[in-house]
Amino acid sequence: MDRQLGPLPRWPTALAFRRVRKEDLEACASLEAASYPADEAASPENLALRQRVANDFFWGAFEKSNGSLVGFVCGTCAAGTSLTHESMEKHVPGGELLCVHSVVVQKHLRRKGVASAMLREYLRAVAALHAAPGSSPPRACALIAKAGLVSLYVNAGFQLVGLSPVVHGADPWFELQVRDIVRTASGEHMIQCDAFAAVPCTGNSAAVVFSHRGGDASWMQKVAMENNLAETAFVELLSIESESNEEAHRFAIRWFTPTCEVDLCGHATLGAAHALWTTGRASKRRRIDFESKASGTLSCSMTDTGWIQMDFPADMPKMADASVDGSMPTADALGKALGLSGSDVLAIGRGKFDILCELSPTAFDRIKPDQSALACFECRGVCVTTQGCEGSSDAERAAAAAAGSVVDFRSRFFGPRAGIPEDPVTGSAHCMLGPYWMQKLGRGSNGANSAGQVIGFQASPRGGVVKCEVRGNGRVVLSGPAVTTLEGMMYCN
C-alpha cells in the first residue's frame, strides 16, 4: 500500500509514503548511521530484521521522480503499556504497544517539519490497519527522545509521559506516547489567532489548518463550520527547499466561511502567515507566497516592527449613479437596509466582491443594520465607510497609536450572504477601501512614501487597524499585526 503525501501539513506532492522493501534497506542503513550516534544507531542487521518481521510498521518517504529515500519511520510491537529495554528488543505480533525505534530524514530536510509530517502519516498508515479484516494492530504508540526533540514529537501528536528507564549513552531520555492511534491519526494541527490585532480578543479571529486533505473541499467546509469563525484558512506546502535557498516559501491556500468557500480573505491570510512563522513551518527571514485559486499569488513578509505585510490585488470600486446603473442598489435601498435614509448615503460603488457605501460620519455612527435586507443585495458583502474622525473612540485612538498615524477612514462590513452578519476586520475589503480613500483624499501612490498610505479602522465591536499602501502596479499592500490565541488538534473526519 502506497500513500500519497499531499494532505500532510509540511509535505510536497512530489513524495510518496510506502512500506520499506528489502531493496531499500541499504539506503535506510546509510541514513540511520548518518542520523544517530554510533551507540544509538540500529545496525543494518537490526533494520533488516525489523523489515522482515514487522513490515507493517516500517515505512519510508520516497521521491516519486527517482525513488530516492527521503526518510523513514520504523517500529515493532510489544506487550505492556510502556517502553523498556525488553519491549524494544523483539517484535510481538498482536502487541498493543507500537514501539518506534527510528524517525530519520535527510539532513537537508531537517528542521522543516518533515519528520513531524512523516510521523503523522505513519500513524495514519497504522490506523488504517484497524479497518483490515483479521488484523490486530496496536492501539498505542510510544517512543523515547532526548530533551531537545520532545517538542518535535509533541507537535506530531505525542504526549510527554516522563523520564524513560531506557538508557542510551549519557543523556536522559523521555518517553512520549500516542494513547489512541486511530483518534490521533484523524487529527490536524490548528492555530487560532486574532488578525489585525496586537492583543488577544480584538481584531478578527481566524483558524489556520495545515492541511488540505488532498483538496477535499467537503472536509474543509466541515472544519470551517465546526470552527464557526468568519474564516478558516487551509494551507499546504507546495515544495521543500534547502536551507540555503533564499526564495520565498510556497504554500497553497484556501479560505472557507462556515457556509462557503471564498475567493479572497485578508485577515485569514495574515493569520496563516503568522501561524506558519510562529510554528517554525516557515522562516521569518523569508517571504511567503500563497498560491490561491481565484486571486493569484499573495505575498506576505515580516516587517522590522513585527507587523505582517500582504501584497494583494487592488480593487478600485466602480462608482456610478444607481438611478442609471441597474447593477447598483439605490441610495434609498441601502439607507433602509442600514437603518438610515437615502439622504445619508454619500456615494455608492461596486468592487470585485463587495458593494461600497460611503456615509457621513454622523450617519455612520447611527447604523442599525437589517441583515435580511442586506442579504438581498447581489454581492459578497456591503462595506460601509466614512472619513475618519481622529480620537472619536477609545478603540480608534488605540488603533491610531498602533499605526503611528491618524485614522483616515472608518468602515464596517456586513456579509450575511456569506454567513457573516458583521465581520470584525475585513482585510480583503481594504483592497477596495484603500484605493478609494487614497483617491478621495488626494494621496499619491509613491511606493513606500508615507503620502501613498492611508490608515483604516474597522469599527466593529472588536475593532482593528489596517494600513493600506496603494502601488502603481495595480497592487495594494495591507499591513497589520497578529497574535495567537489557541493551538491544538482538530478532530473532524
Q: What is the largest CA-CA distance in the chain?
A: 85
Phi and psi torsions of 363, nearest 5°:
-65, -40
Question: What is the rounded CA–CA span in Å between residue 224 and residue 310?
Answer: 23
What DSSP string runs through 274-341?
HHHHHTTSS-TTS-EEEE-SSS-EEEEEE-TTS-EEEEEE--PPEE--TTT-TTSPPHHHHHHHTTS-
Please, are residues 428 and 466 in contact by the beta-carbon 8 Å criterion?
Answer: no
Q: What residues are paired with 99 via a beta bridge?
A: 76, 142
Q: Among 32, 188, 231, 236, which one carries the catalytic annotation?
A: 231
67 sits in the region (left: phi over 0; alpha: psi -120 to 50; else beta) called left
Question: What is the rounded CA–CA span in Å between residue 351 and residue 332?
Answer: 20
What DSSP string runs through 446-474?
-TTSGGGEEEEEE-SSS-EEEEEEE-TTS
377 sits in the region (left: phi over 0; alpha: psi -120 to 50; else beta) called beta
Whether residue 231 lies in the annotated active site: yes
Question: What is the rounded CA–CA span in Å between residue 67 and residue 61?
Answer: 9
Query: Which amino acid does the sequence have at 122?
Result: Y
Cell of 275: 501561524
Question: What is the rounded CA–CA span in Å between residue 203 and residue 282?
Answer: 24
Question: What is the rounded CA–CA span in Å between residue 15 and residue 5?
Answer: 6
The torsion defined by the Cα of 393, 397, 398 and 400, in degrees rounded to 10, comes to 140
Question: What is the rounded CA–CA span in Å between residue 162 and residue 165?
Answer: 10
Neighbouring C-alpha atoms within 13 Å toward the C-beta of 130: 15
Question: What is the rounded CA–CA span in Å between residue 189 and residue 176?
Answer: 18
Paired sense of beta strands 249-256 and 288-291, if any: parallel
Cell of 139: 492501539
Question: What is the rounded CA–CA span in Å between residue 441 and residue 451?
Answer: 10
Q: What residues are paired with 387 via a beta bridge?
A: 409
- Residues serving a catalytic function are 231
